[in-house]
């Protein structure tokens, strides 16, 4: 497949003239074929104008039409075949199985939202019938529905080049809600973005939707991304990335003449709490499973287990021992980008140089953009004394916090920031302490797991991939699962409308 490196705007493709970006082979660091032209302010202007124009028609598409559109995107993404897989593998360093699985996940997400659109519950249709006889004043006819917010800017994530990128969850849920989407491609996988962007563009054409329903922009700097969030026609933002990036966008959005919601999924260290009886009965087993979760995809998951909390004792020693042995044999893995690899190494070096932190294991060494897994430990008192010890290290590094007592464990839990997930490992006899901790855990995270790790994020209606700040910018929302559609909707009430003027879904109530 030849990559043109063009911007996709309004059903056409054209070369961006504002700088250029390239894809790199994550394994070798070599430049991959293709050069991607950066968008200029006038490209952004055109994309935003077309999105606004498209919004009028797209938001009122029928449920069936919109569902078919999402399914057509899914088909088109699937039909990209081998070229997409190869390009994504090269740009990210992720193995074939992962990329193929992630494409299927992307397809499943699109189909799930198609089903959700057909179901129609997201419209929240309500009718309070009129009562002209009511005293002292007649009761009006009131009808409610949710309408789409407007065009949405989506920022692709580095670590999920398909499922959280051009046609990923943010795009799927925004389109499902009736919002046109402008994607700012992540510069770590421009070729993957182009291939998927063209698939979405084809689906727009096949379904006969307004050309402005979708656009893909490359950005050689930060101006276009920031400009999108500031643009008056953009009415919401979906973002997955760093806390620095997310909070910068939040600031721009809040200082607009009309502030807009930013749904930024930013950082999480996903505490794992090992309860005493679980450690007594299967510490080594948990240790090995933990390393499996920690090293999955080179640890580049938002839900990666970056913090282990447990009470001192033989069980914890056994856990650390088993985890250390498993981790020492873990191969170095290619990270997504040179920058991410360097950040990871800096984070690990910081812990290595920390006076109170002890390194307990290091994975096998690698070359170039490969990184070794790492496991550290620290006492609860020392953890409590340095709040930077809860900074996320994006990658396969984790820190065991040894607590001298339940009271100390409580103290650690109380200082932890908002999280995407928190996991409890428990066995018979741990119910009491688990019950006691649960309220704290619910308030801390969007998902609480028992006897598992958060790295698997199921695509299904009951999933919550969100959590209190700074895990996300808005703990009331989720970016995975069907509830994600509600991020892009707002209610409108229609009072005493004549039948002829009522929006279609409200007419038949």
> Phi/psi at 472 (nearest 5 deg)?
-135, 170
Smallest separation, CB 460 to a copy of itself (Å): 4
Q: Among 46, 102, 302, 403, which one carries the catalytic annotation? A: 302
For residue 423 the two structure tokens come to 């996991």
For residue 309 the two structure tokens come to 């909390």
Find residue 139's DSSP bridge partners: 131
Residue 76 or 106 with smaller CB distance to a copy of itself = 106
d(CA 330, CA 374): 10
265 as an active site residue: the answer is yes
Smallest separation, CB 452 to a copy of itself (Å): 6
DSSP H or E stretch at residue 237: strand 236-240
Smallest separation, CB 502 to a copy of itself (Å): 10
d(CA 193, CA 203): 15
Smallest separation, CB 406 to a copy of itself (Å): 17
Residue 331 or 414 with smaller CB distance to a copy of itself = 414
Find residue 400's DSSP bridge partners: 308, 377
102 as an active site residue: the answer is no
Smallest separation, CB 483 to a copy of itself (Å): 6
- 200 closest CA partner among 184, 218, 187, 181: 181
Residue 59 or 280 with smaller CB distance to a copy of itself = 59
d(CA 183, CA 204): 15
Q: Among 53, 71, 91, 265, which one carries the catalytic annotation? A: 265
Residue 22 or 497 with smaller CB distance to a copy of itself = 497
Say how many CA atoms lie within 13 Å of 269 toward its Cβ. 21
Q: Are strands 419-425 and 271-274 parallel, antiparallel or unpaired?
A: parallel
DSSP H or E stretch at residue 310: strand 307-311
DSSP H or E stretch at residue 349: helix 338-352
DSSP symbols for 46-109:
HHHHHHHHHHHHHTT--HHHHHHHHHHHHHHHHTTHHHHHHHHHHHH---HHHHHHHHHHHHHH
Greatest Cα pair distance in the chain? 81
Residue 202 or 235 with smaller CB distance to a copy of itself = 235
Give the residue carrying structure tokens 């009951």: 462
- 8, 201 in Cβ contact below 8 A? yes
Say how many CA atoms lie within 13 Å of 171 toward its Cβ. 34
d(CA 171, CA 50): 17
- 153 closest CA partner among 137, 141, 166: 166
- 383 closest CA partner among 409, 350, 421: 409
Residue 38 or 151 with smaller CB distance to a copy of itself = 151
Residue 158 or 455 with smaller CB distance to a copy of itself = 455
Residue 224 or 506 with smaller CB distance to a copy of itself = 506
Residue 30 or 442 with smaller CB distance to a copy of itself = 442
Smallest separation, CB 416 to a copy of itself (Å): 12
d(CA 492, CA 142): 10
Distant-in-sequence, close-in-space partners of 346: CB < 8 Å, separation ≥ 6 = none
Q: What is the CA radius of gyration of the chain?
A: 24
Cite the active site residues: 265, 302
């Amino acid at each position: 497949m030849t990559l043109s490196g063009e911007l996709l705007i309004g059903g056409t493709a054209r070369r961006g003239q504002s700088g250029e970006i390239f894809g790199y082979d994550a394994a070798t660091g070599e430049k991959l074929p293709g050069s991607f032209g950066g968008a200029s302010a006038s490209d952004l202007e055109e994309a935003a104008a077309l999105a606004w124009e498209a919004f009028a028609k797209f938001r009122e598409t029928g449920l069936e039409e919109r569902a078919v559109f999402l399914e057509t995107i899914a088909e088109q993404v699937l039909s990209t075949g081998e070229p997409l897989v190869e390009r994504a593998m090269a740009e990210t360093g992720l193995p074939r199985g992962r990329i193929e699985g992630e494409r299927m996940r992307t397809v499943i997400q699109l189909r799930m939202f198609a089903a959700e659109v057909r179901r129609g519950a997201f419209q929240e249709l309500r009718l309070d019938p009129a009562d002209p006889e009511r005293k002292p004043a007649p009761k009006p006819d009131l009808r409610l529905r949710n309408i789409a917010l407007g065009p949405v800017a989506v920022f692709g994530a580095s670590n999920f080049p398909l499922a959280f990128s051009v046609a990923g969850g943010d795009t799927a849920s925004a389109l499902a809600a009736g919002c046109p989407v402008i994607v700012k491609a992540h510069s770590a996988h421009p070729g993957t973005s182009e291939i998927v962007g063209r698939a979405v563009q084809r689906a727009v054409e096949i379904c006969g939707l307004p050309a402005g329903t979708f656009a893909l922009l490359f950005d050689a700097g930060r101006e276009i991304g920031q400009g999108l969030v500031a643009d008056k026609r953009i009415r919401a933002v979906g973002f997955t990335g760093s806390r620095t990036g997310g909070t910068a966008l939040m600031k721009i959005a809040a200082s607009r003449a009309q502030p807009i919601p930013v749904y930024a999924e930013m950082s999480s260290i996903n505490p794992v709490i090992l309860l005493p009886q679980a450690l007594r009965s299967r510490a080594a087993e948990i240790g090995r499973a933990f390393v499996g979760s920690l090293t999955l995809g080179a640890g580049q998951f938002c839900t990666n287990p970056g913090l282990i909390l447990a009470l001192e004792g033989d069980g914890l020693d056994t856990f650390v021992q088993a985890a250390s042995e498993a981790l020492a044999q873990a191969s170095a893995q290619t990270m997504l980008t040179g920058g991410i690899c360097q950040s990871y190494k800096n984070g690990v070096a910081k812990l290595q140089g920390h006076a109170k932190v002890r390194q307990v294991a290091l994975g096998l060494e690698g070359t170039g953009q490969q990184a070794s897994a790492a496991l550290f430990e620290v006492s609860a008192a020392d953890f409590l004394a340095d709040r930077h010890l809860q900074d996320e290290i994006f990658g396969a590094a984790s820190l065991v916090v040894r607590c001298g007592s339940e009271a100390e464990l409580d103290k650690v839990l109380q200082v932890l920031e908002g999280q995407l997930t928190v996991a409890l490992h428990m066995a018979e006899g741990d119910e009491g302490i688990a019950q006691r901790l649960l309220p704290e855990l619910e308030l801390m995270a969007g998902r609480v797991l028992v006897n598992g790790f958060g790295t698997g994020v199921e695509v299904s209606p009951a999933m919550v991939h969100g959590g209190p700040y700074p895990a996300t910018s808005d703990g009331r929302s989720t970016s995975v699962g069907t509830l994600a559609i509600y991020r892009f909707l707002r209610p409108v009430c229609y009072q005493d409308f004549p039948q002829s003027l009522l929006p279609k879904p409200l007419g038949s109530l």
